[in-house]
Amino acid sequence: MASDSSFDVVSKVDKQEVSNALNQAQKEIAQRYDFKGVGAEIDFSGEKILMKANSEERVNAVLDVFQSKLVKRGISLKSLDAGEPFASGKEYRIEASVKEGIAQDQAKKITKLIRDEGPKGVKATIQGDELRVSSKSRDDLQDVITLLKGSELDVDLQFINYR
């Protein structure tokens, strides 16, 4: 068993980078002329990011500003789970959260993908909110990484502990 090589597939987000992107978005929203007088703001309250404005298109513009700041900081938009705009009194709101870890249904989809399309002899096991992929051949593991990078999945994946 010691001759097996393995790596872990995880979905993690740098919280500090999200915080930095949020601060940059707050500054831009406070300074931009098209956001003056529309009650546009973005706040982080615990686990949720709350965006507010007085119209649906303005709150979508706030979301757009925040998404552009995330991309500039190297955070995939797949890890941002933004809801639809909804009316709350006189203002519109969007609640968003940052997804971390691989959900159980996504993990099953990834293991099935590796089983079906990956090289033979590669084993993928679910360990909580991450996956461990192991094989005797390091080349097969490289092929699995290439396969996962090329597939259209709803999660942002990173590959760690390659040994």
How many domains, in total, are found in the chain? 2
- The domain that contains 20 carries what CATH number? 3.30.70.990
Same domain, yes or no: 56 and 80: yes
Same domain, yes or no: 73 and 118: no
Same domain, yes or no: 69 and 121: no
Q: What is the pLDDT of residues 137-152, one digit of tens each?
A: 888 888 888 988 888 8
Q: What's the pLDDT at 3?
A: 64
pLDDT at 2 over 50: no
| Tokens describing residue 142 | 């490289």
In sequence order, the β-bridge partners of residue 86 are 93
Same domain, yes or no: 36 and 53: yes
Same domain, yes or no: 62 and 112: no
Distant-in-sequence, close-in-space partners of 74: CB < 8 Å, separation ≥ 6: 17
Same domain, yes or no: 84 and 29: yes
Q: What is the pLDDT of residues 23-74, one digit of tens each?
A: 999 999 999 898 888 888 999 877 789 999 998 899 999 999 999 999 999 9
Query: pLDDT band at residue 4, thresholds of 50, 70 and 90?
Result: confident
Extended beta strands in 11-62, E state: 41-45, 48-53
Cα of first residue to Cα of last residue in the chain, in angstroms, is 13
Q: What is the pLDDT of residues 76-126, one digit of tens each?
A: 898 898 889 999 888 999 999 988 888 888 889 999 998 888 888 888 888
Domain hosting residue 125, numbered range: 5-12+102-160
Same domain, yes or no: 88 and 121: no
Q: pLDDT averaged over the chain?
A: 88
* pTM (predicted TM-score): 0.82
> What distance in Å separates the CA atoms of residue 158 and residue 56, rounded to the nearest whole number?
34
